[in-house]
Structure 1
Amino acid sequence: MFDVIVIGAGVIGSSAAYQIAKRGFKTILLEQFDFLHHCGSSHGESRTIRATYPEDYYSNMVLESSRLWEEAEAEIGYKVYFKTIQFDMGPSDDKSLQAVISSCKKNSILVRVLDHSQVYEEFDGVFKLPEDWIGVVTEHGGVLKPTKAVSMFQTLALKNGAMLRDNMEVIEIKKDEVQGGVLVRTRNGEEFYGKKCVVTVGAWMKNLVHEVTGLMLPIQPLETTVYYWKIKQGFEDKFTIQNGGFPTFASYGEPYIYGTPSLEFPGLIKIAVHGGWPCEPNERTWVAASPTAVDSLKKWIEARFQGLVDPSGPVMSQSCMYSMTPDEDFVIDFLGGDFGKEVVVAGGFSGHGFKMAPLVGRILAELLADGVAQGVDLKYFGIGRFDGNPRGNVKGFDCQVTLADSRCD
C-alpha cells in the first residue's frame, strides 16, 4: 500500500508528488497519457509568472512560488525560470488594473505607475500607449518553461523515492473497506491502494469527480490557442530578456491580452488572448481560435508596437486548455463526503495556475500530512463556496477571461 496516490501528472500533480515524496511518504504518480504529453494544460514553451493580481490573496502566493521555483532549480541543477520585469497596461479607469495597483501596495510590492509618455521612454519606444492609458511596472515577472518544469518535478519526485506510472487512466476511486484508505482502479484493470489520494487531473476534473462521487464541480474546460508573431528584422534584440530587458506583459480591457519576451523561438514573440471556448477534453477540435480573436490581436500589435512586430498574422500557433471556475479562482480542498480527509482535489486553475505549481504542491503535501496548510488562507479555494452561490467568490471587477461560444464568430 502507498501512503499517497497522486492522480494526474501535469505540473500540479508532479509538483505534489515531489513535495509528498520529499517528506518521506511512499508515493505513486499516475498519468492517463504518456508523461510530458500535449493533451492537457502543462505543456508548451512558456508561461508567465507575475505578482500583479487584482485579488489580494494571490500576490504573496506568487512570491512564495518564486522562491520555491528557485529551490527546485537548485536541487535539479538547471533553470526553468527566467526572470524579467512585469509590465501591465490599460485604460487608466480600468477596474481590474486599478485593483492590481491597490493589491501591490497592500502587499508591499514595489509598483511604478507611468503615463503614456513615460512608458514610451521607459521601454525605448517599443510600447506606444493611448493618452488615456497607464503602464504599471513591477520587478516580479518572468518566463517559465512548462514541459521542462514538469519534467523537473517528476525527476525530483523519482529522486525522492516516488514511483511514476504513465498510460494509467483512472476510472474509479473508492474507499477501501478492507484495508482502509482508498482503492484506485485504472481502465487497464490495475489497482492501487493508498492511505490517501490527490486528484490533479486538470480539464478532466469535473468528469472524474462526478463519476466518483456524483458531485458536480463547476470547472469548465476551455480550449485556447497561443500565437507567435514575427519580429521585424533588425529589432529582435529589443524583445529579448537578455539584451533588451523586455518584460512579460498584460494588456487590460476587452480582450485581455498577454505575452512573453522572445525566448523559446528566436525572432518570434508570443502574444495571445486570455480566453477560449468551452470543450470536452476528450473531444477537442485542435483548431485555431476564431478570426475575431486573431483580428483583435492584429489590431493590438499594430497599435502597441508601431511596426516592430509584423501584425499581418501569426506564424505559429499552439493549442492548450484551461480549466475554468466561475470566479477564476482555484479549487484546493478535501473532497469530503465518504472520503472525508483522505482525498484532496486541486483543479480549476483557470489559465493562471501554472506559476503557482510549487506552492500548490507544497500545500497539497501539507494537507495530506497535517490536515492544514501553512501560511496560506485556503478559504477562497474551498469547494463549499459554490453551495447556493454558483458564481463563487464575489469580486469588484470584471472577468478577465474572454469566453467564445465558437471559433467561427
Structure 2
Amino acid sequence: MLNFSGEDFDVIVVGAGIMGSSTAYQTSKRGHKTLLLEQFDFLHHRGSSHGESRTIRPTYPQDYYCSMVLESYTLWEQAESEIGYKVSFKASQFDMGPADATNFKALISSCRKNSLPHQVLDKAQVAQKFSGRIHIPEDWVGVSTEYGGVIKPTKAVSMFQTLALKNGAVLRDNMEVKDIKRDGEGGGLVVFTSNGEKFRGKKCVVTVGAWMKKLVKTVIGVEIPIQPLETTVCYWRINEGHETDYAIGGDFPTFASYGEPYVYGTPSLEFPGLIKVAVHGGYACDPDKRPWGPGISLAALKEWIQGRFSGLVDSAGPVATQLCMYSMTPDEDFVMDFLGGEFGKDLVIGGGFSGHGFKMAPVVGRILADLVLSGEAEGVDLKHFRVARFNENPKGNVKAFEDQVGTFQ
C-alpha cells in the first residue's frame, strides 16, 4: 500500500515555469483542487521562464498562431486586473525581411488572412516611419502593426503562481518528479518525486520544458522529439544622447528580422540605455549538463546592428548577456496533447514551445486546463499540436517556408 503525502488533488501540474503556472491558475480558478510541483526553487533561472523581457506579437508565418496571440492579449490583461499590477507593456511590432523570402511572404499572408491591421513598407518608408532609427536593405520590406509589446517573464510567472495560490492551489518547489503511474486502487494517478514523496491526483498536466523528453520517456517509454537548446540573450549600449529614441513608451517597436540570421529584440526597458538584440537560435544541450556558454558567434549580429540602427547603437559587443533554454520541436510548433496509452485523457502534456511560446502562456494554460478537465479545448484547432504528427512525419508539420531558429554546432 502506498503512503501518500497529504491530501488528494483534482489536478497535479508538474513544472512551474510559465506554462505550468498559467495552467495551475486556470484549473484552480475553475474550482479544482490543484497541486503545482517544481523540481527546483520557484522562479529559478535554469529553464526557459526567467529573465527580463519577452516579446508579444501576432505576426507569424504560421497563420494559426495569430488568434492564439490575440486571445492571450485579453487573458494577460485579465490576470493583471486580478493581481493588481502589470507584467506586459505595450509597443508596436515591426517585422523586416527579404521581399522574396518565403517565410516573410507567409507572414504577410497570415496578417491578411487574419484581418490583422498592418502596413507593408519599403526601405524609404521604413526610414521615414522610424525617423532614421531603423534602416533595411533595398530588397527588403517591413511590416508594421500596433500589436506588439514586452512581457516581464519572472514577474509573469510569479503573478500566475500568486493567483493560483489565491485560488486555493498548493505550491511545492524542490520536488523533482521522477515518475507518474496509474493508481491501481483509486483509479487516478500517482506522482513520484526523487525525495520519496508521492502525490495522488485524478488528473495530471506535465509542463517541464527542456526536461519533457526525459520525463515522458521514463513515464511511457516513448521519445517525443523535443530538443533543448541553450541560447544567449544580448544587451547592447545605445549611444549617448539617443537612449530615449530606443526606449519603451515612445514609438520604437519590438522587432523581428527574417534575414540570416533571424534576429529579434525589444525596446530599452529593463536596463536603461541598453537595447535587447539577440539571435533566435542556440546550441543543442542536455538540460542537466549544460555548457553555460560561451554563446553564439556575434559577428553576424554585430553586422546586423551596424546595418539596421544607423550607428546609434554601439555594435562593438554586448555589455550584458543572459543564458536561457529553448525546447525545440522539429517543426517549431508546440506540443499540446494527451499522453495516451494507459493514461487515456487523464495525463496532458504541454511542451516544445520552441523559443516563441511565452507570449501565448495564458492561452496555453487555458487550453491545457480545458484538455485535462473536459477532454477537449474550444476555439483552437489542435491538429498542429498533436504528438502523433511526428509518427506520420519525423519533421512534424510540413511548412512551405524555412525554419526560423538556428541550431548551431
Paired position in structure 2 for 1:120:
127
Paired position in structure 1 for 2:143:
136
Paired position in structure 2 for 1:357:
361
Q: Deviations over 1:157-182 (max 9, x none)?
A: 00000000000000010000111110
Q: Where has structure 1 moved over 3 Å in runs of 4 or more?
A: none
Residue 316 of structure 2 is aligned to residue 312 of structure 1: yes
CA contact (8 A) 2:232 2:323 kept: yes
Normalised by the length of structure 1, the TM-score is 0.98
| Partner residue of 1:277 out of 283, 302, 306 | 283
| Partner residue of 2:339 out of 335, 341, 347 | 335
Question: What is the identity, as a one-letter code, of the residue corresponding to 1:114?
Answer: L
State the 1:288 CA deviation: 2.9
| Partner residue of 2:306 out of 302, 309, 315 | 302
| Partner residue of 1:159 out of 159, 166, 169 | 166
Residue 350 of structure 2 is aligned to residue 346 of structure 1: yes
Counterpart CA distance in 2 for 1:347 and 1:370 is: 20
Counterpart CA distance in 2 for 1:287 and 1:47 is: 20
CA contact (8 A) 2:53 2:270 kept: yes
CA contact (8 A) 1:288 1:319 kept: no
Counterpart CA distance in 2 for 1:388 and 1:60 is: 26
CA contact (8 A) 2:232 2:296 kept: no
Q: Is there any run of 5+ residues in structure 2 with no aligned partner, and where?
A: 1-7
Question: What is the identity, as a one-letter code, of the residue corresponding to 1:131?
Answer: E
State the 1:381 CA deviation: 0.1
Paired position in structure 2 for 1:11:
18
Q: How many residue pairs were aligned?
A: 402
Paired position in structure 2 for 1:290:
296
Question: What is the identity, as a one-letter code, of the residue corresponding to 2:14?
Answer: I
State the 1:388 CA deviation: 3.5
Indicate the percent of aligned positions where both proteins have the same amino acid.
68
Question: What is the identity, as a one-letter code, of the residue corresponding to 2:304?
Answer: W
CA contact (8 A) 1:288 1:317 kept: no
Q: Secondary structure at the match of 2:109?
A: helix
| Partner residue of 2:200 out of 174, 178, 193 | 193
Q: Secondary structure at the match of 1:300?
A: helix
Counterpart CA distance in 1 for 2:372 and 2:308 is: 47
Paired position in structure 1 for 2:274:
268
Normalised by the length of structure 2, the TM-score is 0.98
Q: Deviations over 1:293-346 (max 9, x none)?
A: x11110000111111000000000000000000000000000000100110000
State the 1:370 CA deviation: 1.2
Within-5 A mapping of 1:83-102: 83-102=90-109
Counterpart CA distance in 2 for 1:35 and 1:275 is: 26
Q: Secondary structure at the match of 1:217?
A: coil
| Partner residue of 1:254 out of 244, 252, 260 | 260
Q: Is there any run of 5+ residues in structure 1 with no aligned partner, and where?
A: none
Paired position in structure 2 for 1:184:
191
| Partner residue of 1:220 out of 224, 227, 230 | 227
Residue 70 of structure 2 is aligned to residue 66 of structure 1: no
Question: What is the identity, as a one-letter code, of the residue corresponding to 1:350?
Answer: S
CA contact (8 A) 1:4 1:27 kept: yes
Paired position in structure 2 for 1:378:
382
CA contact (8 A) 1:231 1:268 kept: yes
After superposing the two structures, state which structure 1 stretch, 349-358 or 363-372, moved more: 363-372
State the 1:126 CA deviation: 0.1
Q: Secondary structure at the match of 2:10?
A: strand
Counterpart CA distance in 2 for 1:223 and 1:369 is: 34
CA contact (8 A) 1:226 1:319 kept: yes
Q: Deviations over 1:44-72 (max 9, x none)?
A: 00000000000110001000001000000
The CA RMSD measured in Å over matched residues stands at: 0.6
Q: Secondary structure at the match of 1:387?
A: helix
State the 1:368 CA deviation: 1.5
Q: Deviations over 1:140-199 (max 9, x none)?
A: 100000000000000000000000000000001000011111000100000000000000
CA contact (8 A) 2:282 2:296 kept: no
State the 1:241 CA deviation: 2.0
Q: Deviations over 1:98-135 (max 9, x none)?
A: 11010010001011000000000000110111111111
State the 1:369 CA deviation: 1.6
Paired position in structure 1 for 2:4:
none
Paired position in structure 1 for 2:405:
401
Question: What is the identity, as a one-letter code, of the residue corresponding to 1:364?
Answer: L
